[in-house]
Structure 1
Amino acid sequence: MTATQDSASESDDEDDTFEEQRARVDKPMRRLFRQYGSLHRRPLGIGLGASLFAHTLALLPPFVLGLAVDAVFLQTEPYDLPLVPDSWLPTGQVDLFWLSAGIVAASFFLSALFQWGKGWGLSVFAQRVQHDVRADTYDAMQGLDLGFFADKQTGELMSILNNDVNRLEQFLNGGLGVLTQLLVTVLGVAGLLFYVNPQLALLTLVTVPIIAVFTHKFVQTIQPMYADVRSTVGRMNSRLENNLGGIEVIKASNTETYETDRVTDTSQEYYDTNVRAITTRVKFFPGLQLTAGIGFVITFVVGGVWVFQGAPGPFSGPLSVGNFVTFVYLGQRLIWPMAQFGQLINLYQRAQASAERIFGLVDEPTDLPEREDATDLVVTDGRVEYDDVTFGYGRDDDEDATVLDGVSFDLDSGEMLALVGPTGAGKSTVLKLLPRLYDVDSGAIRIDGHDVRDVTLGSLRESIGYVSQETFLFYGSVKENIAYGTFDATDEEIREAAKMAEAHEFITEFEEGYDTLVGERGVKLSGGQKQRVGIARVLLQDPDILILDEATSDVDTETELRIQRSIDRLVEDRTVLAIAHRLSTIKDADQILVLDDGEVVERGTHDRLLDAEGVYADLWGVQAGEKSALPNH
């Protein structure tokens, strides 16, 4: 193993971003059945019941064969069927032969019928649980705050929603069937063997406790290995997702070799972790089968000697040929289920590792809890108030993490507030706090006098339209992207919103018009076109409060002016908070706040700020070409 791989292996715990979440989950498999099994009792009951009958019926042919050998062919023992009165049985040799053949044929037919019921029931149960778990996990993930997503990579979350949920389905479908078969076979075989000959039965089943100890050691060893495997799968998915999403940058930077090496290292880490688990597993299964096989050989040798020479050693009493045949067949039937016990444990441990990650994500607390007594926000005036707001993305005790410090301002209905300042001043953060994408550390934000923390998140965000500087478009048509969030909008309403956003003209130039597919993340549209579609989407929602976070940063000057005219019309009946890439577009704002290092350093109208000859005047001078650079301070 290379030094790089050694380092990666040693840092598994540090790289497992879900280690903390997994540690909080207690008894994940019990929770899975308690929470979801009860919702789908019918298919589960049918599957388990059918499996029980199918495997029970499969034990009849070896037992009946033993009876037939002694009672029909050798005629040394009576034909004695358990639970069946002798008066119900025929007395003739030929009749007993056909009765035996009929019982064997019926058991095979009914067993096959119940096997079908087992397959249907467990498959439907597994698929329904898989669907519910994936939907609930996604819903819980959507409720988390943005800070959580900043710490987790998309590939890791995709690994949970896809790979881990699929692991549960594999166990619920295949594992439960194996478990039923194992229980029925071991208990049924043990019962029949003790019924036929208790002494030889003890010898035949002596390997069962040995296998149990063997399996317990395997579980202790393999469980942490599977947890590591699930973690490395998440990291590998993240690496691949990042690289595929940034393929344009990779090609433009000529870093294909570098990225191939990084993917290779991540894949090698997965390979090493998986091989360790596989090596442990492949040692366990043959050892398990060998142990079960030794038990069968012992039964065959002792039983054979018993038939030929009488009871050997500590054993006593007779052993008929038919009983010996029953032991041989049932002993053989015991080997495969006991070997499958290892496969069952293997499936269970993999499912448990996945369930830990799933429920760890579901149980992740949000930093944006909704109060139990929260009420729906009804915007009447649209007045916005920031009262001594302080906020930081880091820990509360980390002073260096503070992004905003004591920000205060009031904005009346129909007014426009513009935020300006150098990069990193905290402008976008101010806007993200209003719809509670993050919560303030201290201070308060109010809409019409209502603290945003006292109202429901749904009603708050329905009242606010947000256009970010990085417009995200979903795969689909232009029309679908504009109507996103207003799904009942008519075609006419969609076109009207596009016209107001200055998007209608370029949309109609496409061959498919509004039905044009935008591609993955809107890759087929230019930056300016994506921004105008994003603005049209928000305009269609007709929010009471509009947030524009450099919403025109990627459009040319002419298009920006046209969009600005549309925004000017909107200000008449709604409150607008905006960050502008070009100061010329916000010079008519009712208020302009200048932020620097998280603090409001200037406020006023465009003319007053120019007269003050402060930071805003410096910024204006640079953009107007009157100054070559900002002052050092």
Structure 2
Amino acid sequence: MSHPPTGSRRAATGGGMPGRGLTGRADPDVLRAENAAAPHVPDLWKRVGAMFIPYRKHIALTVVLVLATSAASVVPPLLVQRIFDGALFPTDGAGGTAPPHLSLLTGLVSLMIGIFVASAGLSVWQTWVTSNVGNRVTGDLRVTLFDKLQRMELAFFTRTKTGVIQSRLQNDVGGVAGVLTTFVSSIVGNTATVIASLVAMIVLDWRLTLLAVVLMPALVVAQRRVGLVRQRIAAKTQESLSEMTSITQETLSVSGILLSKVYNRRGFESERYAGENRTLIRLQIQLAMSGQWFFGMVTVIMSSVPAIIYLASGLLLARGGEAGGGVITAGTIVAFTTIQARLLFPLMSLMRVALEVQTSRALFARIFEYLDLTPAISDAPDARDASDAPGPVGAIEFRDVTFRYPDASEDARATLDGISFAAKPGETHAFVGPSGAGKTTIVYLAARLHEASGGSVVFAGTDVRELTQDSVVEQVGVVTQETYLFHATIAENLRYARPDATDEDLVAACRAANIHDTIESFEHGYDTAVGERGYRLSGGEKQRIAIARVLLKDPPILLLDEATSALDTLSERVVQEALDNASRGRTTLVVAHRLSTVVDADVIHVVAAGRIVESGTHAELMALAGRYAELAAGQAR
């Protein structure tokens, strides 16, 4: 975890918002530029719709339920007209008012109550179906994104903050979950309700309907403008959430909290988090308030329509009740205003959903931006299993290999340039040299964690690009300087290499790694929890557990990346003995800092500035009196 000396880290990490200072204020012109620079995803909504295809039967059922519920919601107001004009205040043959028609009234009321009960049942069923569809689609999206990230090359993770990746999985997918969950029911249901209500209003009186909907086009235009504003604010909100997730992940990890404590930077980290929190709060308030005046205006207009209807009805009745249309009765006015009042809620909901869809566009674009990433390393269509390679198992050869990181500039020096060597099965090849020379990159190329930019890495007589990645990795075991252990028991960490390993297998591997007796001395033995990243164990203990984990895998090739450089002398001796046991009979590539650990290697390669400048045994290189001899003399001093 690295911090720039002052100010925000956004400029340093590339994950932030340009044009925003320590106060969190953003210039409007900068916001417009950022929105224009947001990821463009072709056919975005078409791709979102495609996610629902596996659930088309459920969606069809949802549509049927929604239409039935919407249609049922319009029937009671029409019954109200019948109740008023035909049951409560029926007319006699002479045009006067007759006594109430009780049998008809009872039947209409019973029918209305029955419709209410049926609508409630259909609504519950519809909610269950739509919730299933929405949450399953969201879950599919989350798993697809996680799987895509799993297939990305190692270099992607070295240049992308972990917190940013976590934010895409959690915040962005979570942000669209509500839209997906209610998308079908809200869009279809409210659209059907609005259409059914309009039809019913026209049936009752077309003149009053025209008066009630005259302002709707203006509301749609205003809603569109509000949606664009919310879309911009939503994009900024997700970026702020991403930054907060990144700060939390970095600072509250074991390594991060240790660093902030030993450098007494707790106050700085708290202020940094508080500053981003203030930015997030401001954006969330803006998002919550954006459009509220619009919806307030819609509510006032729609709520005032009944009063206008009463006035218009009065004017029509004063002119004889017809005036180019049908006769307006009390039942007509009551039914019309009831339907119009019911129109308010689905219309408002439809506008809110439209705003949410516009707002979620930025979130979908961020998610699909990751889904559209192309892994730098992928299997060829005709790739075959490494076990079918014609050469001897464990043979590794580099043929004039060059390597550049994907984000490196064209004029930058290649990380590796013209690397060539051949390791026969069972041989140990060591790579020594100054930091940054490219030693670790060589090891990772051998495991195909990186892809060569030029030349070829040959695995068992076959270019690794002609083999499947999984089969290559199955042949390789890696022990790095920084051992990673999960927050689980020792046994669970060991079985990560081989889930079907028996207890006897664990003991045998740990004996070979010189760690069994230490584990047995713990109160819970192999069931001891190691803590976050294994921090409850010493460095030597973690390294030996990592070696035991590799031994459980039992690969023909072993890659050791400065596996003892961070240990004290006593721990190094114990771990080195375990490494010697692990290397026996395996092709081993070793990146070494201390030359004393590789003096017995079959071949030692001296790497400088991305090239192998010397190769030979320890004795040969010392006799050469070149770079290796200088390194040895320097370490001796």
The TM-score, its normalising length taken from structure 1, stands at 0.90
Structure 1 residue 473 displacement after superposition? 1.0
Q: Equivalent residue for 1:348?
A: 357
Q: Equivalent residue for 2:589?
A: 577
Q: Equivalent residue for 1:44?
A: 59
| Partner Cα distance (2:265, 2:81) in 1 | 73
Structure 1 residue 432 displacement after superposition? 0.9
- Aligned ranges 1:604-619 → 2 under 5 Å: 604-619=616-631
Measured on the aligned residues, the alpha-carbon RMSD in Å equals 2.6
Letter in 1 for 2:356: L
Q: Equivalent residue for 2:149?
A: 141
Answer yes or no: is the 8 Å Cα contact 1:292–1:338 preserved in 2. Answer: no
1:331 aligns with 2:337: no
Q: Is the alpha carbon distance of 1:162 and 1:394 closer, same or farther for their aligned partners in structure 2, counting shifts above 3 Å?
A: closer
Q: Is the alpha carbon distance of 1:350 and 1:619 closer, same or farther for their aligned partners in structure 2, counting shifts above 3 Å?
A: same
Q: Is the alpha carbon distance of 1:366 and 1:15 closer, same or farther for their aligned partners in structure 2, counting shifts above 3 Å?
A: farther
Answer yes or no: is the 8 Å Cα contact 2:191–2:350 preserved in 1. Answer: no
| Partner Cα distance (1:53, 1:25) in 2 | 36
Q: Equivalent residue for 1:82?
A: none
Which range is displaced more, 150-159 or 176-185?
176-185
Match for 2:479 among 444, 448, 467?
467
Structure 1 residue 394 displacement after superposition? 5.3
Match for 1:251 among 261, 270, 276?
261
Answer yes or no: is the 8 Å Cα contact 1:8–1:269 preserved in 2. Answer: no
Q: Equivalent residue for 1:179?
A: 187
| Partner Cα distance (1:13, 1:516) in 2 | 52
Q: Equivalent residue for 2:86?
A: 71
Q: Equivalent residue for 1:131?
A: 139
1:274 aligns with 2:284: yes
Answer yes or no: is the 8 Å Cα contact 1:57–1:107 preserved in 2. Answer: yes
Q: Is the alpha carbon distance of 1:521 and 1:15 closer, same or farther for their aligned partners in structure 2, counting shifts above 3 Å?
A: farther
Structure 1 residue 351 displacement after superposition? 2.9
Q: Equivalent residue for 2:11?
A: none
Q: Could you say what secondary structure the match of 1:473 adopts?
A: coil
- Aligned ranges 1:24-63 → 2 under 5 Å: 24-34=40-50, 36-63=51-78
| Partner Cα distance (2:20, 2:457) in 1 | 54
Structure 1 residue 534 displacement after superposition? 1.3
- Aligned ranges 1:492-503 → 2 under 5 Å: 492-503=504-515
| Partner Cα distance (1:487, 1:119) in 2 | 41
Q: Is the alpha carbon distance of 1:13 and 1:482 closer, same or farther for their aligned partners in structure 2, counting shifts above 3 Å?
A: farther
Structure 1 residue 269 displacement after superposition? 3.0
Q: Equivalent residue for 1:260?
A: 270
Q: Is the alpha carbon distance of 1:172 and 1:577 closer, same or farther for their aligned partners in structure 2, counting shifts above 3 Å?
A: same
Q: Equivalent residue for 1:362?
A: 371
Identity of aligned residues (%): 31
Structure 1 residue 62 displacement after superposition? 1.4
Structure 1 residue 417 displacement after superposition? 0.4
Match for 2:404 among 379, 387, 392?
392
Q: Is the alpha carbon distance of 1:13 and 1:361 closer, same or farther for their aligned partners in structure 2, counting shifts above 3 Å?
A: farther
Which range is displaced more, 293-302 or 423-432?
293-302
Answer yes or no: is the 8 Å Cα contact 2:172–2:363 preserved in 1. Answer: yes
1:302 aligns with 2:318: no
Structure 1 residue 29 displacement after superposition? 3.4
| Partner Cα distance (2:133, 2:572) in 1 | 55
Answer yes or no: is the 8 Å Cα contact 2:513–2:582 preserved in 1. Answer: no
1:112 aligns with 2:128: no
Answer yes or no: is the 8 Å Cα contact 1:384–1:447 preserved in 2. Answer: yes
The TM-score, its normalising length taken from structure 2, stands at 0.90
Answer yes or no: is the 8 Å Cα contact 1:415–1:576 preserved in 2. Answer: yes
Q: Could you say what secondary structure the match of 1:58 adopts?
A: helix
Q: Equivalent residue for 1:83?
A: none
1:466-500 alpha-carbon deviations (Å, 9 max, x no partner) = 11111111121111111113111111111111111
- Aligned ranges 1:406-425 → 2 under 5 Å: 406-425=418-437
Structure 1 residue 450 displacement after superposition? 0.7
| Partner Cα distance (1:7, 1:601) in 2 | 54
Answer yes or no: is the 8 Å Cα contact 2:603–2:615 preserved in 1. Answer: yes
| Partner Cα distance (1:10, 1:452) in 2 | 51
Q: Equivalent residue for 1:455?
A: 467
Alignment coverage as a number of residue pairs: 609
Q: Could you say what secondary structure the match of 1:443 adopts?
A: strand
| Partner Cα distance (1:573, 1:188) in 2 | 79
Q: Is the alpha carbon distance of 1:289 and 1:7 closer, same or farther for their aligned partners in structure 2, counting shifts above 3 Å?
A: closer
Q: Is the alpha carbon distance of 1:284 and 1:509 closer, same or farther for their aligned partners in structure 2, counting shifts above 3 Å?
A: farther
Match for 1:515 among 499, 524, 527?
527
Answer yes or no: is the 8 Å Cα contact 1:284–1:342 preserved in 2. Answer: no
Letter in 2 for 1:62: P
Q: Could you say what secondary structure the match of 2:290 adopts?
A: helix
Structure 1 residue 169 displacement after superposition? 2.1
Structure 1 residue 190 displacement after superposition? 0.8
1:288 aligns with 2:292: no
1:158 aligns with 2:170: no
Q: Equivalent residue for 1:88?
A: none
1:525 aligns with 2:537: yes
